[in-house]
Amino acid sequence: MQISSPAENRIVVELSAKDMQELDITYEEMDYSAIETRRVIWTVLDAAGKFLGRELDPSRKMIIEAMPMSSGGCVLCFTILETAVRAKRPMLIKQAANLICDFESLDGLYNAVQDCGINGECEQSSLYESNGKYRLIISSPHDMRLLERHFCEFAVCKKCENLEADFTREHWNPIAEYGALGAIMCRRNQI
């Protein structure tokens, strides 16, 4: 379990596949209306509070974002809300595991990647081709919302779970199966 606090009201906890197994939960099972999910959240908040040396009350108003990792783990982001913000209970927002972007041409792909602002650091990206179309799959710890907002200017994008990404990996022709964003940026700089 890796714990960090980038801001006073924000806590990020990275759970490995082993952590998830020890907590007896999977990403797919996470649902804040289930008592088991609340138990996991309370356990994680307790560990984070001890690590950070401060009291983290699980009954406080907060937004909880969950994002799966390709390794089988999960990243939980806790944003503690001000007391003036009205929320009935903590909310659990789950992010899709992958962002799929379909491009009509290599030029559109090159332009999107050149301006994406992550400087090739997204190693969990892959590129496939089928019938002259290109599909970029990003499985990333980056904020998927920002990536989707950027790439949707250049491609048809959608967030999806692993099943659709696995279908692409099986039926499309691989161009770069690991670190595609970095490879595309290098290739673009050579042209």
pTM of the model: 0.49
pLDDT tens digits for 153-182? 888 888 777 777 888 888 899 988 887 877
60, 94, 128: which is the final residue of a domain?
94
Looking at the structure of the chain, the number of domains it has is 2
- Note down the domain range covering 36: 2-94
The pair of structure tokens assigned to 132 is 């002259």
**Average pLDDT score over residue span 66-94:** 71
Domain identity same for 50 and 78? yes
Nearest to 154 by CA among 120, 111, 97: 111
Q: What is the CATH number of the domain that holds 104?
A: 3.30.70.1950
Domain identity same for 107 and 80? no
Predicted local confidence at residue 3, as pLDDT:
92
- Is 103 in contact with 92 (CB distance < 8 Å)? no
Domain identity same for 161 and 120? yes
pLDDT tens digits for 95-140? 667 888 899 988 888 878 776 665 545 667 888 999 989 998 887 6
Predicted local confidence at residue 118, as pLDDT:
59
Phi, psi at residue 40, to the nearest 5°?
Answer: -65, -45
For residues 61 and 184, what is the distance between their CA atoms, to the nearest angstrom?
42
